Structure 1
Amino acid sequence: MKPSNALLYFILLIMTSCGQPKVVEPEVYTYVEESHSYAKPNNAFITHLKLDISVNFETEIISGTATYDIKNNNSTQIVLDSKHLDIESVTADGKETEFSLGAKDKQLGQALTVTIGKNTKQIEIVYKTTKDTEALQWLKAQQTADKTHPFLFTQGQAILTRTWIPIQDSPQIRLTYEANVKVPKGLMAVMSAENPKEKSQDGLYHFKMKQPIPAYLIALAVGSFEYKAISERTGVYAEKTMLTKVHDEFSDMDKMVAAAEALYGKYAWDQFDVIVLPPSFPFGGMENPRLTFATPTVIAGDKSLTSLIAHELAHSWSGNLVTNATWNDFWLNEGFTVYFEMRIMEALYGKERADMLALISRQDLDEELESLKDTPNATKLKLDLKGKNPDDGMNSIAYDKGYLLLRTLEETVGRDKFDAFLKQYFKEHAFSTMTTEKFGTYLNTNLLEKHQITFNMDEWINQPGVPENQAVINSDKFTNVKRTLEEFLTTGKIDTSITTEWTSQEWVYFIRNFPKTMTVDQMKHLDSAFNFTNSSNSYIQMVWYEQALNHDYHGNNVDQKIEAFLTSVGRRWYVETIFKAFKRNNRLEDALKIYEKSRPNYHSVTATTIDDLLGYEPEPEEEELLK
């Protein structure tokens, strides 16, 4: 029977409401001014990128062409960002055109200004990367898990995509992309796009990302790895020797996606896969759409550290779907994502586990506030990073103060109202960007005023520190952990039967709460009982090694273990925590000796942070080796 028009409308309405968020192109483009990109998108901006590139492991260079579809608001120029790139030629609608590179800036690179006509639809840039390209990490075979083939990965956040692609490198400029990538035969290439599941015989790979994303989410990895599905829409890539272990560790990924969708709406990116990279990867994870990049340090064998996967999945809504317009608004990406991560973990593993994670987050925040006590403006959620590297704002303030704000909001207005608000927020702003000010207005209109609720957002956003009006988080398990620690400190004894069922979070909380008065003998007693120095859990290793440095403990070959850890792991959070402990405990000379050995294994993101921390100035040949 042929349906009536009314029925057709109803069917379309149901399909729209139940389907994925639509990519709706706005009629008017108004971009806010920002300090971390030379692009002038209100004049002309990129809408689509086509890459045709070759990856050469012998020269450690990516070369090829980048073709851009552009929209022009009556301008005769389009400005892109470029850093440490060799720009060979530029054409506009197929004809050679003039271009110029501006003055070099240490953080921003150079403005690449291309002459266009008012009706120009497309430009093409022939280019190649150089030895100074910061986004790329080229790894020798011995730096990988299998030790059989070289490896390459990119890291674009925050403003490093411009170091391997000339691009308008601003989070508020969204584009679709496609790519043809040639790699050596026998290797696989994957991107933040539709990906292959098997190696190509000829080393040629083709990619397409149909949803518009900001440039920092364009990502590439090349190496000898394999794919193993978890479900129709989830799976993992890893080197052969790690594949089964990674698959087992992340086997709850599809459940995580289902839990996230139940909270805040349909997953918008079709596929959610994870690739585990070599240990030099500088972050825990990077939320590249369709393909999260992850550190091997989360492979603990018991799924105890997989909240990181929940975090990167949550970015599929907060960050990838609705993106901070500038890096001054970074908390909109990370504070929301930590909140969402906790809700996913609660849905899958219960409120107690989520609250343990939240309390560790709260402890991280207290430590960050203490470290920034001499620069209180740095503890505001709305940042002012002009003239600074956006990485300076990627700390616990954005993540954990942002989370605490949202948890306080939830407890103030009620979870049901807050969930309805967030679901509406993600739906209405899908595939767009958000400023802190715009979010404040939206919050007032759609939540606070709507329900006649008073809440002082200004003291959270624009004032230093944490307001007195804040959510109080409790955990019975952590209360028991504290009691166990206090009993040990009082009696010198610990009942190991109490700890047999402890999770990683409980162990981390136990170790992090050692008092300053903890003695070397007490450290030795605990190490003998639990063998912390030789733990296979990287999180426990990090906090134990920090405490060993804090308490001048040298037993159980811990000094050698710390050095081995720092030379084999490149995750910035872990590395920075331990080097800070060296510096804090007047062991800078020891730190520098280790750092000279470990630095060549680090990505530039990690190396730059530790250079600043230790006051290290590399020799030119060391810089060459790092690149």
Structure 2
Amino acid sequence: MDYKALSLLFLIFLVSTEARPIEDQATFANVNEIVTEHYELDIFIDFSRKVLSGTNTLYMRRTADSLDVVYLDVWDLNIYQILDQSGNKYEFHIDDPNPNLGQRLSIFIPEDLSTSETFNFTISYETSPDAQAISWLSPEQTSGKKLPYMFTQSEPILARSLAPFQDTPSIKSTYVVNTTTHVQFVTRVSGNMTYDYTDCMIRYSTFEMNIPVQSYLLAIASGNLVERKVGNRTYVITEPEEIEKVANEFSELEDFLS
């Protein structure tokens, strides 16, 4: 066996692997040119229309030498407006849908901003009633039969139907989620709740995730919800009628984290 030849081939493989950019065939995002470091989602959960409406503000950092367009993943979203932190409007375009991947949202960067180090985009949008990441249950479909119930499940590439994202495992971001609902609905998000306030029959809640995670790990639930602590760091969240059963089922959850 020619060990010198094998060693040479191995070195060539290492060099070619290190030089290869990230390639994810399931995203439209140009993640080799710009990355999302943080986002702030501000949404109203509209049970009557079965949509989420609001804004997603992306805090992005350029990694390419210059940038003339930002590509994001969307899926059946109505995009109304895109602004930067100074209130400047950005031109944008949404491609025709791919039945398996959704759509590409293109945000066009003016030439005088092409070498900016950071970009903050506030995207005003609304989801579709048929958004693949969102499930809407009628009161009759719940255990309590009192209120409708909404929950999300974004794996593997469905977060793009929830909000505009660089929807790929190669991008991890921290986030803040602000939710607004009618007062009877309790909302929980995959993050620490930092604010919960009711005024004029409206409930406002804020949640923070300070550990960078992929977009598909964002989870939102809203309805007639209660929570119970089952460990020093763990809680279960469900309907009141199910809380005893669920708390017992996940009573050892804290042990799994030890």
Structure 1 counterpart SS, 2:255: helix
Structure 1 position 192, deviation (Å):
1.1
Counterpart amino acid of residue 98 in structure 1: E
Structure 2 equivalent of residue 242 of structure 1: 242
> Of residues 109, 114, 130 in structure 2, which corresponds to 1:132?
130
The 5 A counterparts of 1:174-573 are: 174-195=172-193, 200-201=197-198, 202-258=202-258
Structure 1 position 30, deviation (Å):
7.7
Structure 1 counterpart SS, 2:212: strand
Root mean square deviation, CA, Å:
1.8
Residue 79 of structure 2 is aligned to residue 87 of structure 1: yes
Distance verdict in 2 for CA 1:255–1:214, change over 3 Å:
same
Counterpart amino acid of residue 45 in structure 1: V
Question: In the alignment, is the contact (CA less than 8 A) between 2:135 and 2:150 conserved in 1?
Answer: yes
> Of residues 44, 57, 61 in structure 2, which corresponds to 1:71?
61
Counterpart amino acid of residue 49 in structure 2: T
Counterpart amino acid of residue 211 in structure 2: Q
Structure 1 counterpart SS, 2:101: coil
Question: In the alignment, is the contact (CA less than 8 A) between 1:45 and 1:78 conserved in 2?
Answer: no
How many pairs are equivalent?
Answer: 229
Structure 2 equivalent of residue 96 of structure 1: 89
> Of residues 22, 30, 34 in structure 2, which corresponds to 1:40?
30
Structure 2 equivalent of residue 349 of structure 1: none
Structure 2 equivalent of residue 150 of structure 1: 148
Q: Matches of 1:155 and 1:49 in 2, distance apart? A: 19
Question: In the alignment, is the contact (CA less than 8 A) between 1:82 and 1:165 conserved in 2?
Answer: yes
Structure 1 position 195, deviation (Å):
3.1
Higher relative contact order (CA 8 A, sep 6+): 2
Q: Matches of 2:41 and 2:216 in 1, distance apart? A: 15
Structure 1 counterpart SS, 2:216: helix
> Of residues 93, 107, 115 in structure 2, which corresponds to 1:114?
107
Listed as ranges, the gaps of 5+ residues in structure 1 are: 1-28, 259-627
Distance verdict in 2 for CA 1:227–1:30, change over 3 Å:
farther
Structure 2 counterpart SS, 1:203: strand
Q: Matches of 1:39 and 1:151 in 2, distance apart? A: 32
Residues 218-245 of structure 1: CA distance to partner in whole angstroms, max 9, x if unpaired? Answer: 1111111111111221121121111112
Question: In the alignment, is the contact (CA less than 8 A) between 1:188 and 1:199 conserved in 2?
Answer: no
Counterpart amino acid of residue 237 in structure 1: I
Residue 49 of structure 2 is aligned to residue 56 of structure 1: no
Structure 1 counterpart SS, 2:145: coil
Counterpart amino acid of residue 77 in structure 2: L
Question: In the alignment, is the contact (CA less than 8 A) between 1:187 and 1:199 conserved in 2?
Answer: no
Structure 1 position 121, deviation (Å):
2.2
Q: Matches of 1:30 and 1:177 in 2, distance apart? A: 29
Q: Matches of 1:79 and 1:92 in 2, distance apart? A: 16
Residue 98 of structure 2 is aligned to residue 105 of structure 1: yes
Residue 153 of structure 2 is aligned to residue 163 of structure 1: no
Q: Matches of 2:178 and 2:242 in 1, distance apart? A: 28
Distance verdict in 2 for CA 1:30–1:54, change over 3 Å:
farther
Counterpart amino acid of residue 148 in structure 2: P
Q: Matches of 2:88 and 2:160 in 1, distance apart? A: 24
Listed as ranges, the gaps of 5+ residues in structure 2 are: 1-18
Q: Matches of 2:165 and 2:156 in 1, distance apart? A: 13
Structure 2 equivalent of residue 593 of structure 1: none
Distance verdict in 2 for CA 1:30–1:182, change over 3 Å:
farther
Q: Matches of 1:30 and 1:180 in 2, distance apart? A: 38
Question: In the alignment, is the contact (CA less than 8 A) between 1:186 and 1:199 conserved in 2?
Answer: no
More strand per residue: 2
Structure 1 counterpart SS, 2:254: helix
Q: Matches of 1:166 and 1:188 in 2, distance apart? A: 24
Q: Matches of 2:36 and 2:99 in 1, distance apart? A: 24
Q: Matches of 2:91 and 2:25 in 1, distance apart? A: 25
More helix per residue: 1
Q: Which runs of 4+ in 1 moved over 2 A?
A: 198-202
Q: Matches of 2:128 and 2:138 in 1, distance apart? A: 18
Structure 1 position 132, deviation (Å):
2.8
Q: Matches of 1:46 and 1:30 in 2, distance apart? A: 20
Structure 1 position 200, deviation (Å):
4.7
- Structure exhibiting the larger radius of gyration computed from Cα positions: 1
Structure 2 counterpart SS, 1:132: coil
Structure 1 position 77, deviation (Å):
1.3
Structure 1 position 34, deviation (Å):
1.4
Structure 1 position 31, deviation (Å):
4.8
Counterpart amino acid of residue 204 in structure 1: Y
Q: Matches of 2:21 and 2:75 in 1, distance apart? A: 23
Q: Matches of 2:100 and 2:205 in 1, distance apart? A: 32
Counterpart amino acid of residue 53 in structure 1: I
Q: Matches of 2:81 and 2:71 in 1, distance apart? A: 15
Q: Matches of 1:199 and 1:49 in 2, distance apart? A: 20
Counterpart amino acid of residue 132 in structure 1: D
More displaced, 82-91 or 118-127? 118-127
Question: In the alignment, is the contact (CA less than 8 A) between 2:22 and 2:31 conserved in 1?
Answer: no
